Amino acid sequence: MKCKVENCENKIFAKDYCMAHYNRLRRHNSIEKLKAGRKRDLKRQAALSFFPELSERTLQKFWNYIKICDTLDIDEVKIIKNNTRPNGSLSISRLENIAKSMFATRIISEAKNKDI
């Protein structure tokens, strides 16, 4: 006997499905084929394209900085301009630390406002 999925010629494994379709149904509640990998974030790709020469770790730090600035509605370009070195280079770790401290300050001030 053959799998009950259209155009599938494999032998039945369980519940009228072949092993591949049965496992897919069991794991995902569907026999439809899913796309592998994470969904592409266009904003992340655009932000990281500014620094193609950086390591993956440094790019992740930069992306963390961008996400925090977005969460706090802060102009990230202004902070980048204020923290660019005289030679034009930029400390990504410093940007990430600035954003984290701004985020912590915001959380503390919101907690204080709730207590009042």
* Tens digits of residue pLDDT in 63-79: 888 888 888 888 888 88
Q: Tell how far CA 100 is from the center of its chain.
A: 18
Q: Which residue has the higher pLDDT, 35 or 10?
A: 10
- Of 49-53, 69-73, 76-80, 112-116, give the lowest mean pLDDT range: 112-116
What is the SS3 assignment for 17? Answer: strand
CA distances to 22, 33, 67 from 16, rounded to whole Å, are 8, 18, 47
Distant-in-sequence, close-in-space partners of 5: CB < 8 Å, separation ≥ 6: 17, 18, 21, 31
